Structure 1
Amino acid sequence: MKIIIIGSVAAGTSVAAKARRNDEQAEITLYNADYDISYSVCGIPYFLGGEIDELETLTPRTPSWFKKRYNVDIFIRHEVTSIDAVEKKIQVKNLDTNEVKEDIYDVLVFATGATPITPEISGVELEHVFQVRTIQNTKAIEKFMKEKQPEKATIIGAGYIGLEMAEQLKTRGLDVTLVQRSNQVMSHLDKDMAIRVEEHLVKKGVKLLLNEEITAINEAEIHSKSGKVIEADMVILATGVRPNTQLAEAIGVNIGQSGAIAVNSKMQTNIPDVYAVGDVAESFSLITGKPLYRPLGSTANKMGRIAGDVITGGSLEHRGILGTGILRVFDLAVGQTGMTEKEALEEGYSIEILHNIKPARAEYLGGKDLIIKAIADRQTGRILGVQIVGEEGVDKRMDVFVTAITFQAKAEDLFHLDLAYAPPFSTTKDPVMYTGMALQNAIEKKNKLITPSDLSERINNGEAIQVIDTRSAKQFQASCVDSAINIALGDLREKSKNLDPLLPTVTYCNSGTTGNAAQNVLRNLGYSDIYNLSGGNKNYQTFKKSK
């Protein structure tokens, strides 16, 4: 069997490696138009920031290594220019010599990846404007920085790469401006969580411009649609990627809703013996089953392994993804998985929302707060999505939530998890467990929750509603919820006689725990329509900033 793979970064090389493990007799050839193979795209910002000393660290494998290890032939600087799917032939051009040759295949795999989107901005072709995608891009940026010693960098786009580059260039000593066309950073977060990242960026000295569209770049300045002029002697384009589907489309391969190649669970396209993997291929949501495109190295490796197994007679199948992501923004970690509040509502779910603010480990050992936003389906209790922001313990909790959602766990299941506990690592009631407990109580209407957004809307609509701040008078005077009255928890039983038990009532504290206790007191005194403010006053004040 002759297997030809077009592209040899994460997905393509994974196909080859798995196919060889299954079949020693197959002839496996990879063609790659670029200079480099099997490199870590995700590691590029950290080299440019100086955390990684040698660029070669990101390119540990060479064609000769693959030949020796797997008996796989990899041809770099060889571009597949055309495909005859009927005759199973391809035309390949050597980009160094311009020589063209023909090759044949039994199985063809598209691992052509994705290309950075170049926005239509005057001046994007200038020598100080860069994409961040390949090793060659990286070499060009590093060379420019050494030779020109730029002082002011502007990054266009505030997704994962944009934020990572902002962190790394700022750490390297540059004056960094981050420009985003929409009203928030990180589109995969809800606005009430993204605001926390935005505040941290500004705290660390990054100039953040939201709702700004760049119209022109020149050698020393950038101009926005609103008329702003930004000084910049280096520009990074971080405006997303587009799957490289041109070759596939030319032979009639179906393109999915996301713009990537449509594949089934075995990574097969609609054309017999033609597969697609990695950033060029469309995945699907584990929750809804609908198409989902999230180009990540982890997914690319998984897809490649599945295709390599199927091609050589194996039974692996792709089970879908949650679109999980995590990144570091200076000393803040930001993670997300599954559906956002906005996405869940758009899909028609009736959802319960919890903002859980708890220390990642024992406070007496210096534990710092995690802010967890968790979303559950009221009808089934199933966890639909989680977003976490914090300085420590984010990755650990995120992976627990990912596992739970993957196996369709309900909110109540989280409380019963036997998670690892010791004071340096966790609290006795881990934030994951508390999240499950609070969500389940809300779903069962034992302890109903209300988000700052919903509370603000009800107050603005003139609804008669009692809001009780259960903190100290000093804390209340420093900041509070609009229209709240201050009754400390210890005084609530006595002073509740001055309240109206028939009115909708909201209790809150700093982050939720004391507010929950106050909610229990009033419920036991006969109050029926009573809510605890999700995330307490801390979350409410953050919400006000995000409006």
Structure 2
Amino acid sequence: MKVLIVGGVAGGAGTAARLRRNDENAQIIMFERGQYISYANCGLPYYVGGVITDKGALQLQTPERFHQRFNVDVRTESEVTAVDTAGKTVTVRHGEETYKESYDRLVLSPGAAPIRPAIPGIEENKVFTLRNIPDTYRIYDHIKETAPRSCAVIGAGFIGLEMAENLAERGVHVTVVEGASHVMPPIDMDMAHQVHNYIRAQGIDLYLGQTCTAMDKDGVILKDGRKIPADMVILSIGVRPDTGFLKDSGIELGARGEILVNSYMETSAPDVYALGDAASVRHIVSGKQVLIPLASPANKQGRIVGDNLCGRKTAYRGSQGTSIMKFFGLTVAVTGEKEENLQAQGRAFCKVITTSASQAGYYPGGEMMTVKTLFEPDTGRILGAQIVGGKGVDKRIDDMANAVRFGLTGFDLQEMELAYAPPFSSAKDPVNMAGYVIGNVIESLMKPFYVEDLDQIPEDAVRLDVRTPEECQRGMIPGFINIPLDSLRERMGELDREKDIYITCQIGLRGYLAQRILDQAGFKTWNLSGGYRLYEMVKKDEAAMAAVAGMCTECGKEL
């Protein structure tokens, strides 16, 4: 069996290694357009920032070592420019030479290319994208040789923010420009507020709802006409499947040029498989075909394709987009669907926002995390989760990822027996706590409302803050009155039983306790999910965004 593999890195190299383990006699040829067949994509920003100092550490396998270990004919600087599925050949360009290579089986793992729009004046500034090792070296060398004072990062996804962090660590003043209303597309706006506030706290300027419409040697011009000084620019506005060479191949592509595959990673053409960033896969939650350009799914797909090439018929069940990012001391992690997507799909869901410490409260060094969990209203099945915080976010998102993948419910989260010792967690882990709150919502023991609902509270409703007077002196939601939780039973007579009562506390826990007291006394109550802590984050972010836009936060008029 002669197998050609187009592209290396996680998908292509993983397929080749698995195939060789399955079949020692297969003839395997792997084509890679660049010099490097296996490198640490996710580690590239950290070389720019000086966290990773060894160039060789970025390259996981050299062509020579890969050939020696797996007996794969590795052909670097060899670009596949066309595929003939009828004749079962590919056209390869190597330097000035062009030739055809036949195959029995073909594997496509071409990856995705960074989007680089035709922005007027783009040639006048020093503009970079980051996708591979040569890109990394160019950025690193430019900083070392020219010592830029400022950089505009266009796009606030994972790579954009990681680059912002690492450039700032090198002493560069960074401005982040994002066309959407919030950073990091996989999270929702309510979770992004905390991230926005943290970005600004690191001395990084943030412009949201803005795009770069032009450039010159001194900076970038935004769509509202303002100019951002920048000695260099990082374009990080997304990627698209690198599949132009498949035109007229007979292989079915999607609207964005993605390769369409079935659950066995087979394309529409016989004996042709595809995987990685260029192939669409089934989303675990929605069931829709999506592009999820992440290393972990690509590695799993490589193993599956390596099995299917040998007739094992192993299915890939789908992806859910589990991902995590370090940004200075903040960690942002997601899995499954987000609220925006569920709304767009018309799918019924509920949400809870909980706040927990990373470890036992009495043990020093703990950090808070905000957990947003999305679930089905009737069954409590977990549809997605987002976590923003410090220590311990990584282990909690992994628990949530398993809950999403294996169809667990909020009640299952309650029963999870998770590792506990004071330096690592509490006896009620943040994941357990999310499960308890979900159970309370499903059983109507806790009726939540949300920060975005504050403007819709009926005028005659009672707004009740059950924090301590000292807490309330530091700030309250306008219109709320203060009756501390520990005085509530004695002061219940101050409340009108005929009116709905909307309760808040700091994070939602005391509000729930107040709700249980009042509900059992015949009141009709609602509890603010996320509490005053989340409200404060939202208002701080909104004020900062308004200030950047030159708007008054009180009247909405230009300053």
Q: TM-score category by the smaller chain?
A: over 0.9
**Aligned counterpart, 1:539:** 534
2:490 corresponds, among 468, 478, 494, to 494
Cα displacement (A) at 1:256: 3.0
Question: Do residues 143 (structure 1) and 141 (structure 2) align?
Answer: yes
Question: Do residues 521 (structure 1) and 520 (structure 2) align?
Answer: no
Aligned partners of 1:258 and 1:282 also within 8 Å = no
Cα displacement (A) at 1:303: 1.2
**Aligned counterpart, 2:276:** 278
Cα displacement (A) at 1:449: 1.3
Q: Secondary structure at the match of 1:364?
A: coil
Cα displacement (A) at 1:28: 0.3
**Aligned counterpart, 1:373:** 372
**Aligned counterpart, 2:294:** 296
**Aligned counterpart, 2:550:** none
**Aligned counterpart, 1:530:** 525
**Aligned counterpart, 2:3:** 3
Provide the C-alpha distance between the structure 1 equivalents of 2:145 and 2:538, rounded to a whole number of angstroms: 45
Aligned-residue CA RMSD (Å): 1.4
Provide the C-alpha distance between the structure 1 equivalents of 2:441 and 2:216, rounded to a whole number of angstroms: 55
Question: Do residues 198 (structure 1) and 196 (structure 2) align?
Answer: yes
**Aligned counterpart, 1:391:** 390
Cα displacement (A) at 1:127: 6.4
Q: Secondary structure at the match of 1:82?
A: strand
Provide the C-alpha distance between the structure 1 equivalents of 2:337 and 2:301, rounded to a whole number of angstroms: 22
Of residues 389-398 and 486-495 in structure 1, the stretch that sits farther from structure 2 once superposed is 486-495
Cα displacement (A) at 1:493: 1.3
Q: Secondary structure at the match of 1:247?
A: helix
After superposition, the Cα gap between the structure-2 partners of 1:545 and 1:254, relative to the gap in structure 1 and judged at 3 Å, is farther
Of residues 498-507 and 200-209 in structure 1, the stretch that sits farther from structure 2 once superposed is 498-507
**Aligned counterpart, 2:239:** 241
Q: Which runs of 5+ in 1 are unaligned?
A: none
**Aligned counterpart, 1:77:** 77
Q: Secondary structure at the match of 2:233?
A: strand
- Cα distance per residue 1:126-160 (max 9 Å; x no partner): 56110100111111112211221111111111100
**Aligned counterpart, 2:90:** 90
Q: Secondary structure at the match of 2:502?
A: strand
After superposition, the Cα gap between the structure-2 partners of 1:406 and 1:477, relative to the gap in structure 1 and judged at 3 Å, is same
Aligned partners of 1:253 and 1:271 also within 8 Å = yes
Matches within 5 A, 1:346-365: 346-365=344-363
Cα displacement (A) at 1:308: 1.1
Q: Secondary structure at the match of 1:125?
A: helix
Q: Secondary structure at the match of 2:60?
A: coil
- Cα distance per residue 1:66-117 (max 9 Å; x no partner): 111010011001111222211111221112xx11222110011111110000
Question: Do residues 62 (structure 1) and 58 (structure 2) align?
Answer: no
**Aligned counterpart, 1:221:** 219
Cα displacement (A) at 1:265: 0.9
- Cα distance per residue 1:505-531 (max 9 Å; x no partner): 22221111111111111112122x312
Matches within 5 A, 1:27-426: 27-95=27-95, 98-126=96-124, 128-256=126-254, 259-365=257-363, 366-426=365-425
Counterpart of 1:206, as a letter, is I
Counterpart of 2:533, as a letter, is K
Q: Which runs of 5+ in 2 are unaligned?
A: 543-559
- Cα distance per residue 1:23-82 (max 9 Å; x no partner): 111100011111111111111000000000122211131111111101001100111122
Counterpart of 2:286, as a letter, is T
Provide the C-alpha distance between the structure 2 equivalents of 1:58 and 1:400, rounded to a whole number of angstroms: 29
Provide the C-alpha distance between the structure 1 equivalents of 2:540 and 2:379, rounded to a whole number of angstroms: 33
Q: Return the TM-score normalized by structure 1.
A: 0.96
| Percent sequence identity over aligned pairs | 41
Aligned partners of 2:5 and 2:107 also within 8 Å = yes
Q: Secondary structure at the match of 1:353?
A: strand
Aligned partners of 1:158 and 1:186 also within 8 Å = yes
Aligned partners of 1:2 and 1:26 also within 8 Å = yes
Counterpart of 2:192, as a letter, is A
Q: Secondary structure at the match of 2:308?
A: helix
Provide the C-alpha distance between the structure 1 equivalents of 2:123 and 2:262, rounded to a whole number of angstroms: 39
After superposition, the Cα gap between the structure-2 partners of 1:125 and 1:317, relative to the gap in structure 1 and judged at 3 Å, is farther
Counterpart of 2:417, as a letter, is D
Cα displacement (A) at 1:221: 2.0
After superposition, the Cα gap between the structure-2 partners of 1:249 and 1:505, relative to the gap in structure 1 and judged at 3 Å, is farther
For this pair of structures, how many residues does the alignment match? 541
Aligned partners of 2:197 and 2:541 also within 8 Å = no
Aligned partners of 1:155 and 1:238 also within 8 Å = yes
Provide the C-alpha distance between the structure 1 equivalents of 2:58 and 2:71, rounded to a whole number of angstroms: 22
Cα displacement (A) at 1:169: 0.5
- Cα distance per residue 1:234-273 (max 9 Å; x no partner): 1111111000122233212112355411101110001100
Provide the C-alpha distance between the structure 1 equivalents of 2:287 and 2:525, rounded to a whole number of angstroms: 36
Aligned partners of 1:178 and 1:208 also within 8 Å = yes
Cα displacement (A) at 1:458: 1.7
Provide the C-alpha distance between the structure 1 equivalents of 2:497 and 2:480, rounded to a whole number of angstroms: 16
Provide the C-alpha distance between the structure 2 equivalents of 1:212 and 1:465, rounded to a whole number of angstroms: 38
Q: Secondary structure at the match of 1:187?
A: coil
After superposition, the Cα gap between the structure-2 partners of 1:22 and 1:302, relative to the gap in structure 1 and judged at 3 Å, is same
Aligned partners of 2:82 and 2:246 also within 8 Å = no
Provide the C-alpha distance between the structure 1 equivalents of 2:124 and 2:296, rounded to a whole number of angstroms: 33
2:471 corresponds, among 465, 472, 475, to 475
Provide the C-alpha distance between the structure 1 equivalents of 2:218 and 2:346, rounded to a whole number of angstroms: 48
Question: Do residues 505 (structure 1) and 501 (structure 2) align?
Answer: yes
Q: Secondary structure at the match of 2:38?
A: coil
- Cα distance per residue 1:181-232 (max 9 Å; x no partner): 1221111111111111111111011111112221222222222221211211
Counterpart of 1:300, as a letter, is A
Counterpart of 1:467, as a letter, is R
Q: Return the TM-score normalized by structure 2.
A: 0.94
Q: Which stretches of structure 1, 4 residues or more, deviate above 6 A after TM superposition?
A: none
Of residues 189-198 and 360-369 in structure 1, the stretch that sits farther from structure 2 once superposed is 360-369
